[in-house]
Structure 1
């Protein structure tokens, strides 16, 4: 690919490439230069230690012209020649004024807030809570749209190992967890797929083939410089973020412009696991003549051992011997996990800045998440025909219960790789041209999805009772112990599955920004185009054998250890010897039969091409800043999947089904920011956005899952439409000079063609035999909405006397109301709650920072939310129970660049719970325990 060839050239050569492109773009800039009178003022705002101050507001006294510094603290203004005064404001530091003389050829200047800049090589900066808060607040305050920012300093003050965990602290964001760790985010009550995620502006393809949502547990939090969450979109941003757009920015060597070396390391104890290790380091420097080159490398590694406890209960409705109907279990699954999770990541950057008017960069990042899991399982299966008299909705007794033991070995590996090559040129008239070529690859593989199942010859009578503790109900088998008789177990089956899904995304985008004077006002025009193509391939293989010839040479008892397998208070028996079972898997996989058509019909290919163009204008009308414009996106989609049919004569036919679609959408936008005063900011936005269907849902495939007489189908829908949303946002923010803000933001999203997965049951005639089958298919709901209110308060109480002045608080609350209306009734209903939406979401943290001591006690909670709609019976809608968590962090900075810290996570030992219809019908109950980490940070 051309990208790989470019990656091997020097940045000086890259500069020539972009400079020639800039020369071609200069003709466009020259076309409007006659309307621009002035010279470029390039400035950099730093604190007394020489550190850049992002988000600082720079105003030209008298004209009201305004600029906001970027992440390197830099800004550009176009001013007429002569005398001018710049007023610079930054929350947390005293304001200043900078007189200057604008001469032909432009001006370069440095503005210092809060003291006198010293030789940067002699400065050692320690990041405290206040540093992160100041950076975040200033960027949020001065952004054109509604924006939340998490700085690296703020992220480091929470016990959050991945980006998902960090984002739960942001107002309006809740997370979905896997084994206690954050994986997906829900922004403002919307499904996780409604939020696009990018790294350094490069959109990240999802690793999970079932969703467009990015698994944020793949990305460790310690590679981050800051995270920006845009809750209102500008025309210059991709439109596929109904809820909000998350941009993860990695570090730049020009952030500090000196040799920087920092890192951390430590270990922890898991209440439900063992010892963990985490470490990371970053080194960067600028070099060459006049320090025009910069290089950075950042490394991160963590390994976590987890042993969560988990019970699943499958509920249904059964007819009692007395002729009534009760809720009853059809199966109970007790899981004993041994899991090792490993995250490792590397980011790098090479940058070239020969002048303040030109920059070029090559950035790359690689992140890998591996989950290696052994699962000892005890499975009880109940048959309606064996339900005994006296059953109630919470307690029942069954005869002839099927008892099975199983070991599953599953290895999941996620990888995300991103490369970005770009450049930016500022012209003498203040016009800015930039271009960026990127390649992003996400891959999810399951090299191991192996299962070995034994079934007991005993079929005991088993009773259960949920009337007491429905999270940990009683089961009679743990008193009678029939499941412990190893001599009664016989080989039932082996199962092998492997999956590989890859998404490769190549994109090129370019933008031109043109300052002008229009109707006597300064107007900045911005135009751009972007082309993105994404190729998706999914391959799955399935094998299974129930033949006695494929049984292990050892007996069931021979495959056990003398280590007990426990789940809560339930004794499941002795654990399998994972080494012996892995040896069995390795020796028998080749002899197990390939399952057809299952190994074929799950595969698919897809290609999505998006061509976008936009134009926007930004103007200042006194204290009011307005951005308005239009974005147009054309989407071309092609997808195919193998199909399988059986003729009346019994012939098996394999073919390929395809889908080909083309759609153009328009996204107008109006964003208004008004400064009622220096501290009081009002916001208003009218925008339009889109969420395209998941690739696996839109390709025409039909996947069958068969387990005995249980049959289920997953069916694609090539007619599935993207979800479109018209959005209204209104906000008011008041900023305190002493590092604080109180804000309220209201929002309403009018949804068209909201897509959801419908689960229903129907009868199926196979060879003259009638089976009850379960079907899942995605469809569109014609109407829906999301409405809500975000309240946020954060403040440091520096006005308190003495030691109390180190106290501060972060608190936010989000209320949302969401609903979809379906085209036809299901179970007598047409109105449904939005899957993934919690009515209430809370975050509260109390912090202390004084004399090198930093501490934070944080609490987060979200209320229940719907996960899956059951078309036939609302009693079997699947919900996730609300969860709360209490965390604590503390550190001491010795003042010489060394800091010791500790983290305590999930002190409440909060569980993850799902239920059907009512909390008493617990489907899954999982606990993870607490975690305590001790470590050392250093900065040089």
Structure 2
């Protein structure tokens, strides 16, 4: 039936529709009992057989390929497949794009069900994309990416649905287990971090009850250095774009990830099977960022007149005696947690098969405490060159006495998010014998989801923050800045200076070391016997809640004859959304102080906006055997993806009302979902035992893209007692466009231990700003494996792609990115293996720009990573 068919599809699959075998590092690779695999060659044979017998277009990765490549999470493994691209902002795969659809428009499921997610990074907005850093590659038995949906499959993806399959105890031998340990060296942080994972599976002699437990602990020290331009503007220099603020940042993070998975099965009768799956994944993600900034926008006119201009952008310039800059230090306490619990009952008889699924998943995460400090200088010199790039300042970033509190500021806050979903599903399969028809499937699914975001700000200059000490200062912020007039005054430079290994020239890399403990103690503990105090206020525009009730029903027919097979059906889905947020007057600058009398809007109301829509989603999949070696495929479907949570929330935010032409942003609770009609045509040629070629054409007619619409509304500016017009922008359903592409893949085994795998994806769209889409993507891998030794060398490439808009409003694109990785293994015995892995061998950089490649936005260097490890199975 539905679930069992999917499971059988996943076992042994390495490539479907040209997918590339992914490198996963799991300890349990040799735990299968029914399928005996002696090496990669046999695994590829099983994969080719499964691919050929599949009804719809699915790419997959089997557990037999686990451990062959140096991927540390599932996103990196997915990047080896045709049509799948991955983002690597912090050097590790985080989010995936599939076949013309960005990360926010593809679903990820665990054993066919939703997995809640809550990002740890404060600059991330709650979206429908899944952060794969929470799921280590050790968790899986297989990965599936469904590119042509069936009616029985959950809706919600434009490009594809990623399903993570885990091991089940009744499928494995009793008393089998595995353990793996690794030590991972990161070149940028120069730290060695440990990783350990293990799995144990047991079942009774009658094979009616079994339990499997998998556990993983991974630590990682992250350091990312680079160069950033925080804004580009031509407001003061029409026709010439000038960098507004630029700096040389370094990001530090200590990641500690623990993932536990439990699967218990009970076969009550020969026909009835119960399965309970439980997942708990937590990641501590405390981080800090240091950035040495110059306010180049202050000198825009001089840059435009005297600087080096490329195209219409200033790319190099210098200022003498009129420069202004700061050091911006940020400390964050961040984490993310995900849990899921699913109970499945499967009943199968000669007359019908029935599956009932009941489950719940939840996540919470974000930044739970943040503090940001700025100390600066005024009237100095600076020079920059974006061609290299380089940044130098006078005073230098190593001069603690020159960075003073007169140009400083301290602020902070919280941004926690939650994600919850409860689900209930019933699937009924009726075997039939009516010509080519073999089964009728029907079912329902009910889902209730809730997504929330809170935004709290800390104000050290708030009212009564010096209660009992008013003779020393008006506010605690005044007291800090007066007591610590320079970075050297209160030990903020007590770590001395360090040289940051960064791809930036100039003196911006010789800097004062960031002292997190000193900052935290002053901000949250106290200073010179005076206790710290700060006002706590709700930032009303960024506090929201979205609830979603989904009901789906489907009907599907499966058919098969001597030369063809497939399915067709329709899925009907209704979605009820309730988006809630604060409606408030603007007489408190959009804040509501919670712990004292200070800022309070005269009008404050929690409002809810309802939105409802329904869709019919038909689909058909057909596979035709031309002969014993060749298969033709065709599919057609109507697919949908719901809008991002933050976009349908009723939030509103705007800039300073005393600035010229103030701008604002808002959400749109009445957004309709994305709809697309798609076609796929595939050809597969199995010309050898472990050799195959495949080609797939895909077409998507997107009914709408997300656009920004502008409207003007007045907001009250209390300081001058006036109403000011604000130009707001908000997301809206715009006109659609077409996406088409070609996927090519080849697998060739040379019968002497050597082999080659390669794939290429071309994607064409009539809209240049479709987020997450690269025109060209490719994977190349060469491998060698015998009974003792294995080696793989791989290259992963994607051309430039749009990332939407920077938080400052500038369009943002990522330059082309290509990465070389390698892995080696040595079998000491049949049960023990040594491994060595290398990631990003050529030390590739992540480069972002705005509209034009001369308009650099950021350059980041994550460095190389090397891992040495050992695995033992028993």
TM bucket (normalised to shorter chain) is 0.7 to 0.9
Partner of 1:890: 824
Distance 1:185 1:73 in 2: 23
Name 1:531's counterpart in structure 2: 446
Q: Is the 8 A contact 1:411 1:449 kept in 2?
A: yes
Partner residue of 1:286 out of 203, 213, 216: 203
Write out per-residue CA displacement over residues 182-216 of structure 1, whole angstroms, 9 at most, x where no aligned residue.
Answer: 11000013111221110011112342453101111
**Structure 2 residue aligned with 1:353:** 267
* Residue in 1 that maps onto 2:612: 662
Asked whether the equivalents of residues 443 and 553 of structure 2 are also in contact (C-alpha less than 8 Å), the reply is: yes
Secondary structure of residue in 1 paired with 2:194: strand
Aligned pair 1:858/2:794, yes or no? Answer: yes
1:894-936, Cα deviation, whole Å (9 max, x unpaired): 3330000100000010011100122222100000110110000
Correspondence for 1:843? 779
Deviations 1:228-251 (A, max 9, x none): 110000000012111111110111
The aligned counterpart of 2:225 is: 309
2:107 paired with 1:196: yes
Where do 1:240-279 residues align within 5 Å?
A: 240-273=156-189, 274-279=191-196
Deviation, structure 1 residue 530: 0.7
- Structure ID, larger Rg: 1
Which protein has greater RCO, CA pairs closer than 8 Å, 6+ apart?
2
Q: Which runs of 5+ in 2 are unaligned?
A: 18-30, 120-124, 310-314, 462-476, 590-599
- Whether 1:699 and 2:613 are equivalent positions in the alignment is no
Q: In terms of mean alpha carbon deviation, does 809-818 or 557-566 score higher?
A: 557-566
* Residue of structure 2 equivalent to 1:785: 738
Does 2:562 correspond to 1:622? Answer: yes
Q: Deviations over 1:124-150 (max 9, x none)?
A: 977743354344333322211001111
1:292/1:648 Cα in 2 relative to 1: closer, same or farther (>3 Å)?
closer
CA–CA distance in structure 1, aligned partners of residues 370 and 734 of structure 2: 35
Map residues 919-938 of structure 1 onto 2, 5 A cutoff. Answer: 919-938=853-872
Residue 818 of structure 1: aligned partner: 765
* Post-superposition CA distance 1:860-917 (Å, at most 9, x none): 01000122269999xx532111111000000011333000010000001001110012
Report how far residue 335 of structure 1 moved.
Answer: 1.0
Equivalent positions of 1:899-938 (< 5 A) are: 899-938=833-872
1:411 corresponds to 2:344: no
State the Cα distance separating 1:325 from its structure 2 match: 4.3
TM-score in terms of structure 2 length: 0.86
Distance 1:748 1:125, change over 3 A: closer
Equivalent positions of 1:485-496 (< 5 A) are 485-490=400-405, 492-496=408-412
Q: Secondary structure at the match of 1:308?
A: strand
Go from structure 1 to structure 2 and tell me whether the alpha carbon gap of 1:165 and 1:380 turns closer, same or farther (over 3 Å shift). Answer: same
Structure 1 residue 486: deviation in Å? 2.1
Q: How does 1:33-72 map to 2 (within 5 A)?
A: 69=8
**Is the 1:738–1:797 contact (alpha carbons within 8 Å) kept by the matching residues of 2?**
no
Q: Which residue of 2 aligns with 1:300?
A: 216
The CA RMSD over aligned residues, in Å, is 3.2
Distance 2:112 2:623 in 1: 23
Matches within 5 A, 1:12-91: 69=8
Segment of structure 1 superposing worse, 627-636 or 349-358: 349-358
Q: Which residue of 2 aligns with 1:481?
A: 396
2:547 to 581, 592, 607: 607
Alignment check: 8 A CA contact 1:493 1:545 kept: no
Distance 1:71 1:732, change over 3 A: closer
What is the alpha-carbon distance in structure 2 between the residues aligned to residue 845 and residue 759 of structure 1? 48
For residue 806 of structure 1, report the CA deviation from its aligned partner.
0.7
Deviation for aligned residue 1:382: 2.2
Q: SS of the residue aligned with 1:166?
A: helix
Question: C-alpha displacement at 1:538, in angstroms?
Answer: 2.0
Question: What residue number does 2:21 align with?
Answer: none
Deviations for 1:678-720, whole angstroms, at most 9, x for unmatched residues?
3311111110111111122112221345599596533011221
Match of 1:180 among 91, 94, 109: 91
1:379–1:572 distance in 2 versus 1, CA, 3 Å? farther
Q: 1:690 aligns with which of 629, 640, 650?
A: 640
Match of 1:559 among 492, 496, 507: 492
Q: Measured at CA, do residues 881 and 490 of structure 1 come closer, stay the same or move farther in structure 2, by a change above 3 Å? A: same
What corresponds to 2:28 in structure 1?
none
1:507 aligns with 2:423: yes
Name the TM-score, length of structure 1 as normaliser: 0.80
- Give the secondary structure class of the aligned counterpart of 1:140: helix
Structure 1 match to 2:579: 639
Cα distance change on mapping 1:160 and 1:72 into 2, 3 Å: closer
Secondary structure of 2:379's aligned partner: coil
| Runs of 4+ in structure 1 over 6 Å off | 120-127, 647-651, 758-765, 768-774, 870-873
Residue pair 1:717, 1:778 contacting (<8 A) in 2 also: yes
Change (3 A) 1:706 1:413: farther
Question: Which is worse superposed, 278-287 or 488-497?
Answer: 488-497
Question: 518, 539, 542: which is aligned to 1:580?
Answer: 518
| CA distance, structure 1, for counterparts of residue 583 and residue 373 of structure 2 | 29
Q: 1:401 to 1:648 in 2, by over 3 A?
A: closer
Cα separation, 2, equivalents of 1:170 and 1:741: 15
Cα deviation code 1:85-132 (max 9, x no counterpart): xxxxx99xxxxxxxxxxxxxxxxxxxxxxxxxxxx9999977743354
8 Å contact 1:734–1:742 — kept in the other structure?
A: yes
Aligned residue pairs, count: 802
Residue 367 (structure 1) shift: 1.4
Match of 2:350, SS state, is coil
Query: What does residue range 111-510 of structure 1 map to in structure 2 within 5 Å?
Result: 128-208=39-119, 209-273=125-189, 274-287=191-204, 290-318=206-234, 325-384=239-298, 387-388=301-302, 389-393=305-309, 394-398=315-319, 400-429=322-351, 431-456=352-377, 458-466=378-386, 470=387, 472-477=388-393, 481=396, 484-490=399-405, 492-510=408-426
Instruction: Name the SS of the counterpart of 1:217 in structure 2.
Output: helix
Residue equivalent to 1:104 = none
Greater Cα shift, 723-732 or 130-139: 130-139
Partner of 1:593: 535
Please say if residues 133 and 154 of structure 1, whose CA atoms lie closer than 8 Å, have aligned partners that are also in contact: no
SS at 1:548 equivalent: helix
- Contact 2:10/2:165 (CA < 8 Å) preserved in 1? no
Distance 1:143 1:849 in 2: 28
Q: What's the offset of the Cα at 1:324?
A: 7.3
Is the partner of 1:532 in helix, strand or coil? Answer: strand
Q: Distance in 1 between matches of 2:707 and 2:335?
A: 27
Mapped partners of 2:77, 2:441: distance in 1: 33
